[in-house]
Amino acid sequence: MLTLREAVDKLREKNLVAGLKNFKESAKRATFCCPFHYDIRPSANLYEYMGSVFFHCFGCNKTMTFEEFWAELTGEKVQKEKRLQDGYKFDLKEFAEGLHFRFLLLLEGNGDWRFPDEVRLAQKGLEYLQSRGFDKEDIRRYHIGFFYGKLREHKEIEGMQEFAEKNRWLSTSECFLTFPVYSEDFEEVRTIQFEDFLGRGQRENTKYFLAGLPIPVWYSEKFNENYSWVICEGIYDAMSMAKTGYPAIATLGNPLTEEKKKCIRKCKEIILCFDNDDAGRKYSEAIKKELATSKIRVYEFILPEKDPNELLAKEGVAGIEKLEPVEVDFFPSWDKKIDMIIARYEASKEKAIAIPNEFKYLQDFFPHGFLQGLYAIAGIPGVGKTTFLNLLCHELAKLGVYSIYFLTEEPEYVLMARIKEKEGVKSIKDLKYLDFLKFRITIEMSMEYRTEKLKEIAEGILNRVNSDRVILVVDSLQALRLSEEREGRMSIREKTILKTEYLSHIARDLQVPVFFTSFVAREFYKEEPNLSVFKESGDIEYLIDVGIAMWMDADEAGKDERKIKFSILKNRFGKVGNIEAMFTSKNFLFKCDKNGSGKRKWSAEG
């Protein structure tokens, strides 16, 4: 390996130094005007790094070994195949590694003469990494780089203009630590994570990825299927585990894409180490479900802190070394599940939605309120299914409970018109003065809102409202549409069952009550309601937790005030039975006597 002195002597022997303008040499580095772009003040550097000599230019961000630099100057250059990512016309690996060597030089006090603050800001980047338990050795190992926002002005940097145009979040006043995300063989950089480390604690989001590129997984080293890989959520967590010798993979957050699943399935043994919070546990459970029937041996670490990096920052490497992997029991027996099941049930009761006063006649049937689950409401036309759910969402809004109401038939203004009558205001416009309506969210379903997208939409809304007091309503099941491919090849019964399964999974995975309305076959109009009304709708009675039929006699149809019967035909959360009520169409109000028997004086209070 050449030393810096030997490299400079070699240049002098070939009389190449004379062609490098403003060439100056010190014990640690040589500086000169870059020969690869128009450079009026020295931006190029030769310096020793880990036993070798490297070239880096602060102006054009080029980085290369001395041997590559020599070949460029002498014309002996061997043309390398460019590794270009889809959507970008420059080599991401060269770009990322240029930022890495820039960081190293900045930490030694060398910087771009155009940006006097850059050295100081880079030092803050190092201090930030040190606060999280990392040092210069980690910077070198993972090729961590430094990007000053004003680099956007460097037109001579290959790809900079395209990079800045596609990544609008980038500001000239900010600086970022950069983390290249390599392919499993470490031959190419697939994307780059940028972290606004100075914005941490002040901004909701401080991590960004290159726009237009998929987010793969991050590897701490070259992939080997025979290693026992620790699977973490973020790069800092994976770097923390690697401090103790564990090879680590970071999934880089949600969602758990098919590509990420494929990467994990390549391993023969993994240790799950996700954040010790609700999001981390859900992610861990999602991976466990993927691997439950695989041959991969799966273990997990039980963390005493929020995440591995927090443990490293508090206790150092010794804290992580104390962790003992526990093998995951995918199909535990009852003796191991009892405590977990009780805890889950108690947690579901705590999250139950209280029944509003106007609907107290349901209290006997749902003593804990509306628990997470799938509630089906079937009824003949004109019985008031939509009105019932509209009023329920309205009263829940007064209690601070969010409702996400997917409309497939009636438009939003029809629901609003009924609430206008209920509240006794002059016009729909006056409803905006009711503060509690901020808890009502309605979505008119159009062609792009397929059943397969409902969970994603609901999850996005839940993340934004930041509340676990939410119910979902789908009105109606039959009007929902699946993807075009499924719509064309499946029977009505198959589609109905599949849509019900999707809603069941939403209730389970998002842990919320989900209500949907369902039609009743015409041949059942004159019969007393029974569970067959759901069976004829596609055997959905097997999938629902609660089945309610809303009924009325034929001679009640069209009356301004008509008798309605609620038949709770299936109820996993309480008893079954009937409730008789009066529905007044003038003010859209259901009234019921307190016992639900229909034999006492009608009361709006229930």
Q: Where are the domains of the chain?
A: 4-212, 219-331, 369-547
Res 445: pLDDT: 80
- According to the model, what pLDDT value does residue 554 have? 75
Which residue would you say has higher pLDDT here, 416 or 532?
Answer: 416
* Exposure string over 473-505, b if 16+ CB within 10 A, otherwise e: bbbbbbebbbeeebeeeeeeeebbbebbebbbe
Q: What would the mean pLDDT of 12-36 be, rounded to a whole number?
A: 90
pLDDT score of 198 = 92
Q: Categorize the per-residue pLDDT at 604 as very low, low, confident or very high, splitting at 50, 70 and 90.
A: very low
CB-based contacts of 460, cutoff 8 Å, min separation 6:
none
| pLDDT the model gives residue 600 | 31
- Return d(Cα 362, Cα 516) in angstroms, integer: 17
Mean pLDDT, residues 357-372: 91
Give the bridge partners for 568, in sequence order. Answer: 548, 577
Query: Does the pLDDT of residue 359 top 60, yes or no?
Result: yes
CA–CA separation, 482 vs 490, rounded Å?
Answer: 10
Provide mean pLDDT across the span 239-250: 96
Higher pLDDT, 464 or 222: 222
Output the average pLDDT for the chain. 87
Residue 399 scores a pLDDT above 90: yes
Task: Say what the pLDDT of residue 575 is.
Answer: 93
pLDDT band at 602 (very low <50, low <70, confident <90, very high): very low
- Backbone φ and ψ for 579, nearest 5 degrees, come out as -130, 130
CA atoms within 13 A on the CB side of 54: 18
User: What pLDDT score was predicted for residue 601?
Assistant: 33
259-268, 368-377, 560-569, range with the lowest pLDDT: 560-569
Token pair recorded at residue 85? 């990512």
Residue-wise pLDDT for 409-453, tens only, equals 788 888 898 888 888 888 888 888 888 999 999 998 876 678 888
pLDDT digits (tens, 9 = 90+) for 256-299: 888 999 999 999 999 999 998 888 888 888 899 889 889 999 99
- Please name the fold of domain 4-212: DNA primase DNAg catalytic core, N-terminal domain (3.90.980)
> Is the pLDDT score of 402 beyond 60?
yes
- How does pLDDT run across 29-86, given as a tens digit for each residue? 999 999 999 998 899 999 988 888 999 999 999 999 999 999 988 887 656 666 666 6
Specify whether the CB–CB gap between 100 and 143 falls below 8 A: yes
Q: What is the largest CA-CA distance in the chain?
A: 111
Query: Among 152-166, 487-501, 589-603, where is mean pLDDT lowest?
Result: 589-603
Is a pLDDT exceeding 90 seen at residue 372?
A: yes
Residue 596: predicted pLDDT? 43
Residues 6+ apart with CB under 8 A from 125: 103, 146, 175, 177, 197
Per residue, what are the HEC states of 330-367?
Answer: CCCCHHHHHHHHHHHHHHHHHCCECCCHHHHHHCCCCC
More confident of the two residues 263 and 342 = 263
Global pTM?
0.68
Predicted pLDDT at 587? 60
Question: Using alpha carbons only, what angle is made at residue 208 by residues 207 and 209, rounded to the nearest 5 degrees?
Answer: 135
CATH number belonging to the domain at 219-331, selected among 3.40.1360.10, 3.40.50.2300, 3.30.300.30, 2.40.100.10 = 3.40.1360.10
Q: Is 318 or 456 the better-scoring residue by pLDDT?
A: 318
> Which tokens in the block code for residue 405?
């109401």
pLDDT of 230 reads 97
Q: Please give the pLDDT value at position 180.
A: 97
Dist. CA 220–CA 230, nearest whole Å: 10
Higher pLDDT, 165 or 231: 231
Identify whether the C-beta of residue 166 lies closer than 8 Å to the C-beta of residue 210: yes
SS3 389: helix
Question: For 15, left (φ over 0), alpha (ψ -120 to 50), or beta?
Answer: left
Report the percentage of the chain scoring pLDDT > 70. 94
State yes or no: pLDDT of 564 exceeds 90. no
Mean pLDDT within 158-177: 88
**What pLDDT score does 517 carry?**
92
Which has more confidence, 559 or 232?
Answer: 232
pLDDT for position 78? 59
Architecture of domain 369-547: 3-Layer(aba) Sandwich (3.40)
Q: How far apart are CA 548 and CA 376, in angstroms?
A: 6
Q: Do domains 4-212 and 219-331 have the same CATH topology?
A: no
Percent of the chain with pLDDT over 90: 48
Question: In this structure, are strands 470-475 and 326-327 parallel, antiparallel, or unpaired?
Answer: unpaired
For residue 260, the model assigns a pLDDT of 93
pLDDT for 254 equals 78
Q: Which residues contact 9 (CB under 8 A, 6 or more apart)?
A: none
pLDDT at position 563: 85
The per-residue pLDDT for 605 is 33
- Identify the CA nearest to 469 among candidates 409, 511, 501: 511
